[in-house]
Amino acid sequence: MGGLEQQLLGRVVLKERPELEEQRQKLVEEVNVNKKTLKGLEDDLLFRLASSTGNLLDDTSLIEVLQNTKTTAAEVTEKLQNAADANARISMAREEYRPVATRGSLLYFLVVDMAAINVMYQVSLQQ
C-alpha cells in the first residue's frame, strides 16, 4: 500500500500545489547531479593518486588537483546539505496531503478486494 500511497501523494500535490512538486523534482535532479560530481571527483583523485610515481609532495599538478577537489567537494557538500534542508521543508508541506493519499490508496484496495465477491466489481488503477 505504501507505493500506491506515495504515487497518489505525488499526484495530489501536483494537482493542489504544482510548484511544490516541481521544486521537489528539480531538487532530486540536483542531488543526483551533485552526487555524481562528488563521485567523479573522488574517482579522479584516486586514479591520480594511484598513478602517481615518486614523492607525492613533489607532484605540483597532483597538489593542485587535490586543492581543486577539496574546494569543489566542499561546495558540492554544501549544496547537498542545502538540498537536504529544502527537501525536509518540501516533505513537511507534502505531508499536509498524506491523509488524502492514504484514503485513496485504502479505497483502491477495498474496491480491488470487492472483485473477490463478484467479478463485476473489477476496476483498474486508471479508473
In a domain, 56, yes or no: yes
1 — pLDDT class (breaks 50, 70, 90): low
| pLDDT, tens only, 12-64 | 999 999 999 899 999 999 999 999 999 998 998 888 888 888 787 777 888 88
Q: 86 is in which domain, residue-wise?
A: 2-121
Regarding predicted confidence, which is higher, 8 or 115?
8
Inform me whether the pLDDT recorded for 125 exceeds 70: no
Convert the chain into a string of H (helix), E (strand) and C (coil).
Answer: CHHHHHHHHHHHHHHHCHHHHHHHHHHHHHHHHHHHHHHHHHHHHHHHHHHCCCCHHHCHHHHHHHHHHHHHHHHHHHHHHHHHHHHHHHHHHHHHHHHHHHHHHHHHHHHHHHCCCCHHHCCCCCC
Inform me whether the pLDDT recorded for 127 exceeds 70: no
In a domain, 127, yes or no: no
| pLDDT, tens only, 75-114 | 999 999 999 999 999 999 999 999 999 999 999 888 888 8
In a domain, 91, yes or no: yes
Domain count, the chain: 1
